[in-house]
Structure 1
Amino acid sequence: MSSIQTMHAHPGAAPHGQALPASLVLLLATGAGLSVASLYYAQPMLGVLGADIGASARAVGFIPTLTQLGYALGILLLAPLGDRFDRRRIVLIKAAALCAALLVAGAAPSIGVLLAASLAIGLAATMAQDIVPAAATLAPEASRGKTVGTVMTGLLLGILLSRVVSGFVAEHFGWRAMFIAAAASIALIGAAAWRGLPRFRPTTHLAYGALLGSLGTLWSRHGTLRRAALAQALLAVGFSAFWSTLAVMLHGEPFHLGSAAAGAFGLAGAAGALAAPLAGRLADRRGP
């Protein structure tokens, strides 16, 4: 079903030719930012967390590794469900799962439980990958790039500022408090999505296996898609390698800096997120 048909089918979506309501765009941007932030809260806290829970640096290093692995598996195995089922329902289910996983992480008595919770956090945080397509589906074609750019700004700010927030909270209130606060934020977003997000009609009736099989067809057919995926993979490797080691290095010799200092490095990258709406407007005018 086309995005225009979808907009007419859903109360709260913009009529043809009109921009989405600002409240809905804000909900989508905030939801994307807070859900993806869950992937990165742990990174500035790794040094403090490891010392508190009695885990080695090697074991603690598996926390961001399993979180990112869960995220990758979630994108591969769960994101295609947005074509098969009501995307609103998927967002609500993932919000509940993410809230539960964050609470388990905050109460984890051992590194083993924390590692399992980290994998679950990664899987459930893919609700961000349902929110961005929802924005693209709901927005009218004339302002789609701007709308998606605004939602992507929320997502990128969530990635970058999550470290600043978690570093501060961990240093002053403890790392467990950060996971509990994150769970509360996701619960609020879930409640807001239940009230404010319209329903989506499925765009396909393919079985789950056929949906996954279609990914291979897309990969083999579209060279542009392969190049984009490779570029994103290389960016993610560099990005994660830096952030996953920074906090541990700053915590030890010769720096002896706390989690707040590690998180403050996120401020340097936050400016880049503000360019996303500009890129979206440029895409509206000149094409992606």
Structure 2
Amino acid sequence: MRISRDTRLCMSLSARPGNFGTRFQNYLYEALGLDFVYKAFSTTDLPAAIGGIRALGIRGCAISMPFKEACIPLLDRLDPSAAAIGSVNTIVNDDAHLAGYNTDYIAIVRLIERYAISPDTRLVLRGSGGMGKAVASAFRDQGFRHGTIVARNEAAGRTLAEACGWDWCATPEAATGTLLVNVTPIGMSGGPEAGALAFPDAMIAASETVFDVVAIPVETPLIRAARALDRTVITGGEVLVLQGVEQFVLYTGVRPTAAQIQAAADVALA
């Protein structure tokens, strides 16, 4: 692949940039012969970074923690996938007009369908940030009526719980459910709680399905504990791949084949 003045740039913004998006997107650009390149960035000046996307004609930008909500006032339009939950994970630049999308939401809906999780399942979701909103809203919109949001921030936790028609509590020990969902950084590589479990051992033992949105590493302490008990697990790697495909399509207008997606995922998650 040769970079020229006509090459289109896509990027990501995150507090702690990883390599998944860079590997995944660039693999598909090359496999499909597209004149694009992708690079990950961090920033301490979000308004300037978003202004740079607009001013430099950067085609698209993936948005991760802690910018998913803070970027919204800097955009021109929100797609319904982002407007409904007040969280953006993808920016698309059309002639300096910036639109915000949320492909995390789309990915979660597809995983609920893939794993055939019954809407009657009682879920416990830990976290109430931007990703928490996307995940909770996806479950709510798929008809899940029985749930609890676990969040130390009472105001944010109660607000999200009320939006879903669920309960709120401050600690996981106060909740019960057979579907456990972690959307906090607990278990994330390099974080202050990298070796910690997002849910107590007893809750994991009582669960049927464990879903950890943390993707670095894919095998988090929570996922490893659930596998050891032979529970059904859904990993953050699966979310990364599905939402990354939707970002790719938004940026390029091209949808890769299943084989191309799997090959890109194998490279990116290696």
State the TM-score, normalizing by the size of structure 2. 0.28
Q: Which has the higher contact order (CA 8 A, sep 6+)?
A: 1
User: Which has a greater percent of strand?
Assistant: 2
Query: Between Structure 1 and Structure 2, whose CA radius of gyration is higher?
Result: 1
State the TM-score, normalizing by the size of structure 1. 0.27
User: Which has a greater percent of helix?
Assistant: 1
